[in-house]
A and B are shown apart, each in its own frame.
Chain A
Amino acid sequence: DTGVSQDPRHKITKRGQNVTFRCDPISEHNRLYWYRQTLGQGPEFLTYFQNEAQLEKSRLLSDRFSAERPKGSFSTLEIQRTEQGDSAMYLCASSSLMDGGIHFGNGTRLTVT
């Protein structure tokens, strides 16, 4: 399967701990996105990269969140000093500039206790 891959699938952490998630996009896709989804809501935009450049970050995103895509391939999303409100599904997606459609991975479900 050459789809978007995310790791881990589930993460349970205690409030105040740091967590890091990884995303491997579809290999020929140069855009990579991070979204967050809570129950009953649509995916909420967090940030996106074109190659290694981070082009936009949501204004709603706390400075506890940081994302990197150092070589323009895989990406990591780190949340520092986690809070219970961070509990959500974190979805990664990728796209090519040509077709526009973004394709999601299976997500990382974060539970902060």
Chain B
Amino acid sequence: GENVEQHPSTLSVQEGDSAVIKCTYSDSASNYFPWYKQELGKRPQLIIDIRSNVGEKKDQRIAVTLNKTAKHFSLHITETQPEDSAVYFCAAPYNQGGKLIFGQGTELSVKP
């Protein structure tokens, strides 16, 4: 079925540490994997995405990795800062890219 599983649901790290959030998807035809950051009371904002023709993409302190065989993709945040505290959502397309299905979210807390 249409399912995106996201773990963990909450994550607390010390400032400067790394954070990793993992997602699995079920549609083997999925070819695009975005990550969104949502601060309290605000809209989800696209922070990074990856297409299935690459295994990793990096943008400054954030990176995303993709394992198509295992249907896993992960968000990596290095040198975390308090302003990274937010809820992060992964998503994957279903029905040949017609819609994005979102994971349940990970609440990241970065302690100074």
Contacts and interface: CB of A to CB of B under 8 A. Distances in A.
A16 B99 CA distance: 30
B105 A42 contact: yes
A101 B89 contact: no
Interface string A71-99: 00000000000000000000100000000
B104 A104 contact: no
Contacts, number: 49
B100 to A, nearest CB: 6
Interface in B34-60: 34, 36, 42-46, 49, 51
Nearest to B107: A40
The dominant DSSP class at the B interface is strand
A61 interface: no
A41 B43 contact: no
Interface residues of A, number: 20
A102 B43 contact: no
Contacts of A104: 36, 43-45
Interface string B87-100: 00100010101111
B70 to A, nearest CB: 21
Interface string A39-60: 0111111001000000110000
Given A45-B101, A55-B98, A106-B42, 15 more contacts: A41-B104, A42-B6, A42-B103, A42-B105, A43-B44, A43-B102, A45-B100, A56-B95, A56-B98, A56-B99, A100-B49, A100-B51, A100-B97, A103-B46, A107-B43
Interface of A: 33, 35, 40-45, 48, 55-56, 91, 100-107
